[in-house]
Structure 1
Amino acid sequence: MPTQASGETPAAPPIAWRRKDLLGLEELTREEILTVLDQASGFKEISTRSIKKAPTLRGKVVLTLFYEPSTRTRASFSLAAQRLSADVQELDLDASSAKKGETLVDTARNLRAMGVDVFVIRHQQAGAPALLARSVDSSVINAGDGTHEHPTQGLLDLFTMREKLGNLKGRKVALVGDITHSRVARSNIWGLLKLGAEVGVVGPKTLIPGALKELGVRIHYHLDEVLGHYDVFNILRIQLER
């Protein structure tokens, strides 16, 4: 059964999930985020079994559509879908009609006609997953779009912090590094704020958007000055490709 983090007021009872797509944490409510995290706690047990399978997605087809390079995200989505008994297809875009100029929407509509139930998409353009979600009746999961969001990485970070710290309300979390270009940072910030954490960012002025102050995010420019003031430091790499 899903478990509640120690000391956390439950989102009681867990809400029924009514969204077709997962496009970003900005659009999710606190209760929706907690529901996902609680369900993830229950599913985590699958990875400890000798046969790592559950029938949750039996009969469903999940297709990964990655317009940017990926190792961990792509592999983890494929493994997760397989462990939930889905049929998984990984489209090789270098060998697809996309190389001949076929648009994202046309590609997806053709694949939907073949029976794809869930698209997992990574794209260099912010908003591409939202465009796809409006264009097909399949579910769409954003695996990172430009500098916009990376919601599943944000949820994973929240899950890890919650396992280690329990209730995140009132906890102080700092994101360190290239905040301006990091979609992971944006998803973390939205998720942490909705769960009641105090959020700070640390880095050089050129890599921190000043507009974050409007969300109540604290801005720091020197890491050594804040090392004793936060419960968690999430270190982000420089996004050279952006």
Structure 2
Amino acid sequence: MSTSPASDRHIQLNPFGQLRHFLSIDGLDRNLLTEILDTADSFIEVGERSIKKVPLLRGRTVVNLFFEASTRTRSTFELAAKRLSADVLNLDISTSATSKGESLSDTLLNLEAMASDMFVVRHAQSGAPHFIAQSVTPGVAIINAGDGRHAHPTQAMLDMLTIRQHKGRFEGLVVAIVGDILHSRVARSQVRALLTLGAEEVRIVGPNTLLPRDAETLGVKIHNDMRSGLRDADVVIMLRLQRERMEGALLPSEREFYRQYGLTTEKLAYARPDAIVMHPGPINRGVEIESAVADGPQSVILNQVTNGIAVRMAVMSMAMSGQLAERQAAAETQASK
């Protein structure tokens, strides 16, 4: 289920250049990513109200279709949809008809028959959300909540929002992404978003066994040494060791990984004094990061969680708006014939 930036752009955007699906950062330009960030910024204050609701998706039905376990992503998507006034259905795949042998296509057809307007999809197989976007009835929006090792675009965008809030810009920034790059769909989306938004330098830092084979083609600088990788960095993004995706012995031990690549107060000192520390979660304390850093003054990890709701509200509202604009244009064209 491989995809290209060109095909991503074609399937994700309607004829007017608006989002119809949000599947990947690939194929999206700087203006559109900035529009997502600006829209998310406008939703930040909704979470500060006593009544945390806006009517943008009133009367719409959003289905959370999670084929992989999730806490943060699923709950923030659910909150985002409810704050947009949508009706939300959380489908438990482990007890659904899919687990009894029903095909994914048949499951989708049945959900569409219930007048669903949007599917939020997390799947272990790379490209699954693209397949669904190509299969569903026109007018149903698909949001990728993480697929295999391929992409996690809403996580990348909430990270971009967090960076912009704290740094005010992307130009001139040096960003170090540290840890299990090989298995991280988050890292791939982060790299694409950072380079599209104008970051000066993106570094990936980790042992060769945890770096992708195509690392040199990603437009990043590769570091196997933590100290050189962090030197003068403005942003440090730590990643979780994804043992559930590893095949074979890629690490001598978690203790050895922490010694070389865990973020400690001492190692953080190589970054700029005002560097921010990020982590998409869940955090393995004492493996990727020490508690003194995770809970310290440079950590913006909880800000990331808060921003996740606003970014997901932005993406869902923009995709639904793009679907409606395309549907209306098609209806007007048909009426004029």
* TM-score computed with the length of structure 1 as normaliser: 0.91
Counterpart contact for 1:174–1:230, Cα < 8 Å: yes
Cross-structure match for 2:178: 176
Counterpart contact for 2:129–2:144, Cα < 8 Å: yes
Distance 1:190 1:175 in 2: 12
Q: Could you report, residue by residue, the CA deviation over 1:178-214 in whole angstroms, capped at 9, with x for unpaired residues?
A: 0011000000000000011121000001111242222
What secondary structure does 2:230 align onto?
coil
| Counterpart check, 1:52 vs 2:52 | yes
Q: Could you report, residue by residue, the CA deviation over 1:159-187 in whole angstroms, capped at 9, with x for unpaired residues?
A: 00010001102211110000011000000
Distance 2:135 2:214 in 1: 32
**How far off its partner does 1:20 sit?**
1.3
Q: Could you report, residue by residue, the CA deviation over 1:109-145 in whole angstroms, capped at 9, with x for unpaired residues?
A: 2101111100000000000000000011210000000
Cross-structure match for 1:8: none
| Counterpart check, 1:211 vs 2:214 | yes
Distance 2:177 2:19 in 1: 29
**How far off its partner does 1:104 sit?**
1.6
* Unaligned 5+ runs, structure 2: 1-15, 246-337
* Unaligned 5+ runs, structure 1: 1-15
Letter in 1 for 2:215: L
Aligned residue runs from structure 1 range 1-242, under 5 A: 18-136=18-136, 137=138, 138-197=140-199, 198-242=201-245
Letter in 1 for 2:92: D
Counterpart contact for 2:65–2:119, Cα < 8 Å: yes
Q: Could you report, residue by residue, the CA deviation over 1:41-71 in whole angstroms, capped at 9, with x for unpaired residues?
A: 0011100000111111111100000000000
Distance 1:201 1:82 in 2: 36
Cross-structure match for 1:11: none
Distance 1:226 1:182 in 2: 18
> Which structure carries more helix by proportion?
2
Distance 2:45 2:166 in 1: 17
Counterpart contact for 2:176–2:230, Cα < 8 Å: no
Instruction: Please report the RMSD computed on the Cα atoms of aligned residues, expressed in angstroms.
Output: 1.1
Distance 1:80 1:46 in 2: 10
What secondary structure does 1:241 align onto?
helix
Counterpart contact for 1:109–1:135, Cα < 8 Å: no
**Which range moved further: 52-61 or 210-219?**
210-219
More relative contact order in 1 or in 2 (CA 8 Å, sep 6+)? Answer: 2
Letter in 2 for 1:182: S
What secondary structure does 1:174 align onto?
strand
Letter in 1 for 2:189: S
Distance 1:53 1:168 in 2: 31
Counterpart contact for 1:176–1:203, Cα < 8 Å: yes
Letter in 2 for 1:50: S
Distance 1:17 1:164 in 2: 29
* TM-score computed with the length of structure 2 as normaliser: 0.66
**How far off its partner does 1:17 sit?**
5.8
Cross-structure match for 1:12: none
Question: Between the two proteins, what is the percent identity of the paired residues?
Answer: 52
**How far off its partner does 1:19 sit?**
2.4
Counterpart contact for 2:144–2:153, Cα < 8 Å: yes
Count residues with an aligned counterpart: 227
